[in-house]
Amino acid sequence: MGKQSQYDIVVIGAGHAGCEAALASSRLGLATLVVTMSLDTIGQMSCNPAIGGIAKGHLVKEIDALGGEMAKAIDETGIQFRTLNSSKGPSVRGTRAQADRTLYRQRMRRALEGAENLDVVEGVVEKLLVNDGSRIRGVELSTGRTFGARAVIVTTGTFLNGLMHIGSKNLPGGRADDKPSIALSDSLRELGLNMGRLKTGTCPRLDSRTIDYSRLERQDGDNEIKSFSFSTTYIKRKQVPCHITYTNEATHGIIRDNLDRSPLFSGKIKGIGPRYCPSIEDKVVKFPHRARHQVFLEPEGYDTDWVYPNGLSTSLPEDVQIKFLRTIEGLDKVEIFRPGYAVEYDFVFPTQLRSTLETKLIEGLFLAGQINGTSGYEEAAAQGIIAGINAACKVKGRPPFILDRTEAYIGVLIDDLVTKGTEEPYRMFTSRAEYRLILREDNADLRLTEKGFNVVGLVDESTYNDFLEKKRLMERELRWLGGTKLRPTDETLKDMQRLRLGELKKSLTLKELLRRPGVDIGSVYGLAKRDFLLPEDIASSIETDVKSEGYIKRQTEEARRFRRMEGLKIPEGLVYEEVPGLSTEIKQKLRQMRPLSIGQASRISGVTPAALSMLMVHLRKVGAL
């Protein structure tokens, strides 16, 4: 149990958002309490046993650069690592790793239980306690016990008023074998927060012993493993294969014949589901022209027979699930450990939050994760670390920590939520980031480690010194490439012909040569007779920076213009009724959203360029700009 009754910060929930939030605040020296329904489900992977992916890998590496835990945890517990989109440009590549579900959960629990300034208590929070209806002062558990707090972070995932569906059956719960949190949902409503209803789903869990892998396509991980954490030196652990199979017309026929038994199509499920991760019944209905859908069979760990069939999320009855599964190649004798199910849950419309993830209505109350309408472990963890940092800033009286869209995918994620909101589970994509060429996975440390060390204080000195050494090395090599000229001597021309690097009609720098299509950094070093001793990650970053220099300069200038707009601050207490020329609708939106800057106001749906001009004229007139 909690060792005291008063804490600086209380975190409700110990999923991916809760873990990052609690570790951030406790590492910043604040007395932190985590309240979780079960100690055994700290860091639980409720859906697929994997971390990362396209754009999601960016978030994990940014969390790491700021001093978070997720990247280190997956590096220590991953059982298959792959780089997705490896044949495409560096801005859209993504690192993904299968995890041993049990080892990952145990790793996160150890992190929390071993942290200083951090207590963990098993219990159910039923009520948020406030002073005068506007300032958080603590939480009340179902047992009646209360804990005082100067800030509270709610990270309840899918548990708020959670309802699980399997065919015609529905059971209260936010996850298999876990009860929902109903009273806390009511408490949030009573505080005046507007809430909606979302739906997500998960796949059946298969018995590996009943799968015929000899008939399936094997998918191994990368030979050269790329870690998530910038502080991980190497990963040397047994890697396990996944396998690929496909649905077929027989599968789809069974699903179509039983749509009347699907809670998704019978009207029992009211919540809006994830557009980009639909259930198999959704796929069959919405894409009738597709003869098959890919299924990835992902092992859940080293010492388990549980297999996750990624791509087969469903809430059909269990008998239908086993029937359609057995039409799939390699699964004709499959048995299931647990059927797939859908879960509906309450969420808070995120436009009611500040960019710090503090609610505008209740001072000191922060929300992070699926409660804000997002989906995915990575999106949750990213919000968790920002909420933890800002709750700590709030308690310490420090300026808030906000990342904008030019600095990080985390900035894109949070800005999208608080300015645009969401009516369906929000998932991060590279296409959401306007400045994705300068927001790559490989340079997350270069973008954020300085902030993690000097501004936030979560990055330790040893990690920071390693970062500085990497930065110095990159700067030195870039200077050498830009300052070393190659002249068209006979020897050089012969070497270029041997390396198939094209012609050289005049002197040019090594950097200019590296910009040529088909020329890689190793060949350039060989041509210059310089030993190529750069670590692979540094060499890759240098090559990307050189080859994309023109595009990067253009995007950097666009980012500079964006920051200028963000720098035009709007006073928090501005009375929009006093701004001449604004329509009633726009005044209402600005009053509701309370944007921090002209830039943020410009991203609110319906706020026109003309309205922004009138707003800026008024701000200059009153001396605010």
pLDDT band with cut points at 50, 70 and 90 for residue 456: very high
In tens, the pLDDT along 387-406 reads: 999 999 999 999 999 999 99
Q: Quick check: 286 pLDDT over 70?
A: yes
The Cα–Cα gap between 320 and 502 comes to 61
pLDDT band with cut points at 50, 70 and 90 for residue 2: low
Q: Please, are residues 241 and 223 in contact by the beta-carbon 8 Å criterion?
A: no
Across the beta sheet with 169-172, the strand order is 169-172, 163-166, 341-348, 195-202
Q: Quick check: 276 pLDDT over 90?
A: no
User: Between 494 and 296, where is the model more confident?
Assistant: 296
- The pLDDT of residue 454 is 96
pLDDT band with cut points at 50, 70 and 90 for residue 540: very high
Q: Quick check: 56 pLDDT over 80?
A: yes
In tens, the pLDDT along 75-111 reads: 999 999 999 998 898 889 999 999 999 999 999 999 9
The Cα–Cα gap between 256 and 287 comes to 12
Q: Please, are residues 197 and 345 in contact by the beta-carbon 8 Å criterion?
A: yes
- The pLDDT of residue 87 is 86
Q: Quick check: 270 pLDDT over 90?
A: no
The Cα–Cα gap between 584 and 551 comes to 41
Which of 12-26, 409-423, 568-582 has the least mean pLDDT? Answer: 568-582
Q: Quick check: 1 pLDDT over 60?
A: no
In tens, the pLDDT along 201-240 reads: 999 999 999 999 999 999 999 998 999 999 998 898 899 9
The Cα–Cα gap between 456 and 449 comes to 10
- The pLDDT of residue 342 is 93
The Cα–Cα gap between 588 and 403 comes to 26
Task: Locate all alpha helices (DSSP H) within 305-401, ordered by sequence.
Answer: 318-325, 377-396
pLDDT band with cut points at 50, 70 and 90 for residue 300: very high
Question: What pTM did the predictor assign?
Answer: 0.94
Residue closest to 378 by CA, chosen among 69, 93, 40, 115: 69
What share of the chain in percent tops pLDDT 70? 100
Average pLDDT over residues 233-253: 94
The residue assigned the tokens 């999320």 is 313
Average pLDDT over residues 462-490: 94
Beta-strand ranges (E) seen in 41-141 are: 50-52, 78-84, 94-99, 118-122, 125-131, 135-141
The Cα–Cα gap between 460 and 431 comes to 33
Average pLDDT over residues 313-340: 97
State which amino acid sits at residue 557. E
Average pLDDT over residues 175-201: 93
Q: Please, are residues 40 and 178 in contact by the beta-carbon 8 Å criterion?
A: no
The Cα–Cα gap between 445 and 63 comes to 10
The Cα–Cα gap between 74 and 53 comes to 13
